[in-house]
Chains A and B, each alone.
Chain A
Amino acid sequence: MTAPPDDCLARNEWICGEYLSTRRHILLDAVAQHLQLTAVSVLFGLAVAVPLAVLARRWGLAAGPVLAATTVLYTVPSLAMFSLLLPVYGLSAALVVAGLVLYSLTLLVRNILAGLRAVPEETRQAARGMGYGPVRLLLTVELPLALPAGMAGLRIATVSAVSLVTVGAIVGFGGLGNLIYAGMNTYFKAQVLTASVLCVVIAVAADLLLLAVQRLMTPWTRAGRG
């Protein structure tokens, strides 16, 4: 038997370079799971939110119930949301994704609907006067003009999803949340701090990435200002 090593791991320090180098693969796996869960949920949410928002815009009667339903969903705390889905999905990654889709749906529908409603009536009439049909009007006029509001919603939804994935640790699919959960049970300070910081870094990076995408997709918003 050799004497236990006296490094920062043994001393259980908050910041530990040794931890980063020896557990690199664990951290990378957790980050990969975190990114995957976030991306899948937000993309699913987007795929459902756009038609819902268009429906609510086109058919005024649907707007009230759609907004009310999304508000109710958003009020339910994340832990309860995951738990309510347990009988449907069991202990699986699908449970976490389903919960996150419901949350991103709320944020996306609200923002896309607000964007669609903000399209000036004159613009719509001008397009119709030029012979645009309803589908062409939606795809080439209304949706592009709703992009800035929609992208704002997408950024909020993504940042929220990155942070909510951690709660998925309760079913073992929480990305970095799993490391935080395990670190809590073993009082492993370096692991908890590293995973938490990585969560925030992912959230900020995703936000900046989407901001860059938004600027690329809506060049007219910059031309107008300059």
Chain B
Amino acid sequence: MNTLTEAWGWLTDPAHWSGDDGVRHRLAQHLVLTVVCLVVSCLIALPVALVLGHLGKGGALAVNLSNVGRAVPTFAVLVLLLLTPIGRWGEGPTVVALVLFAVPPLLTNAYVGMREVDRDVVRAARGMGMTGRQSLFQVELPLALPMVLTGVRIAAVQLVATATIAALAGGGGLGRIITAGFNLASTPQVVAGAVLVAVFALLVEGVFEVVERVAPHRARGSR
């Protein structure tokens, strides 16, 4: 319990919140990294998954990519990228690694969502004279939306976790508070940083949980 009180003391000390190594700056870095990389990953993965799912092709690739993503250690990829020329562009390795690990869950879930749309509904859409594009956007995508959003949530949580590990390889974000704590052998700082990261991750998960519940109703209600 003593460490927890000390960690609380660390967190409530205003000196730890300001400056380049302060909580406020690290939090902003973490948020920007997560949001920017989530948008980039969605722009890369979702069009590919939706088109592949619509055409019913490349299923093995989309599903296996997730398994590959799980077997490759995030930390190893971060360090490998750091040692390549990308390592010279500051946050370059972090951004590339974040996108690499966010794409598989997005791709797999969106693809599976598209394939799980009732084939009879798609055929009915065809029978009504819809073109492939109309069927994709007006029938299949709205029905696949819950699965697509699940993929976005998993990717977002994965991004927060990866951005934390990036601190081990010198990247910015809340993880830096933890690694700095280890370097200073300051257990209260390590615990305080870990609490911040955990709360941040749970908040992201919570926000997407709400979006997942509300968005499909909105999408259907507006029509």
User: CB distance B73 to A76 under 8 Å?
Assistant: no
Query: B168 at interface (Cβ–Cβ under 8 A)?
Result: yes
For chain A, what secondary structure do more than half of its interface residues adopt (helix, strand, loop), or is it mixed? helix
B170 to A, closest residue via Cβ: A184
A-B contact pairs, 18 of them (CB 8 A): A75-B202, A77-B198, A79-B161, A79-B164, A81-B194, A83-B194, A87-B187, A87-B191, A159-B67, A167-B75, A170-B168, A181-B75, A184-B83, A184-B169, A192-B80, A199-B72, A200-B72, A207-B71
Looking at B8-16, B38-46, B174-182, the stretch in contact with chain A turns out to be: B174-182
B168 to A, closest residue via Cβ: A170
B74 surroundings in chain A (CB, below 8 A) = 163, 166-167
**Cross-chain contact of B195 among A84, A164, A184, A199 (Cβ < 8 A):** A84
Docked complex Cα distance between A181 and B75 (Å): 9
Query: B53 at interface (Cβ–Cβ under 8 A)?
Result: no
A78 surroundings in chain B (CB, below 8 A) = 161, 164-165
Docked complex Cα distance between A167 and B4 (Å): 23
User: CB distance A200 to B83 under 8 Å?
Assistant: no
User: CB distance B76 to A76 under 8 Å?
Assistant: no
B202 surroundings in chain A (CB, below 8 A) = 72, 75-76
A170 surroundings in chain B (CB, below 8 A) = 168, 178-179, 182
Residues 121-139 of A at the B interface (beta carbon under 8 Å) = none
Mark each residue of chain B from 179 to 217: 1 if its CB lies under 8 Å from any CB of chain A, else 0.
Answer: 101100001001101110110011001000000000000
B76 to A, closest residue via Cβ: A196
Query: B97 at interface (Cβ–Cβ under 8 A)?
Result: no
A14 to B, closest residue via Cβ: B83
A156 surroundings in chain B (CB, below 8 A) = 70
Query: A189 at interface (Cβ–Cβ under 8 A)?
Result: yes
A196 surroundings in chain B (CB, below 8 A) = 73, 76-77, 79-80
**Cross-chain contact of A200 among B71, B161, B179 (Cβ < 8 A):** B71
User: CB distance A77 to B73 under 8 Å?
Assistant: no
User: CB distance B165 to A75 under 8 Å?
Assistant: no
A9–chain B nearest beta-carbon distance, Å: 15
Docked complex Cα distance between A184 and B71 (Å): 20
Top 3 closest A-B pairs, CB basis?
A83-B194, A77-B161, A196-B76
Known pairs A75-B157, A79-B167, A80-B194; A160 contacts B79 (CB<8 A): no
Q: Can you name 16 extra interface pairs (CB under 8 A) apart from A77-B160, A80-B164, A177-B73?
A: A71-B205, A76-B198, A76-B201, A76-B202, A77-B164, A83-B178, A84-B195, A86-B194, A87-B191, A156-B70, A163-B72, A180-B79, A189-B83, A192-B76, A196-B79, A199-B76
Mark each residue of chain A from 174 to 186: 1 if its CB lies under 8 Å from any CB of chain B, else 0.
Answer: 0001001101100
Docked complex Cα distance between A170 and B180 (Å): 11
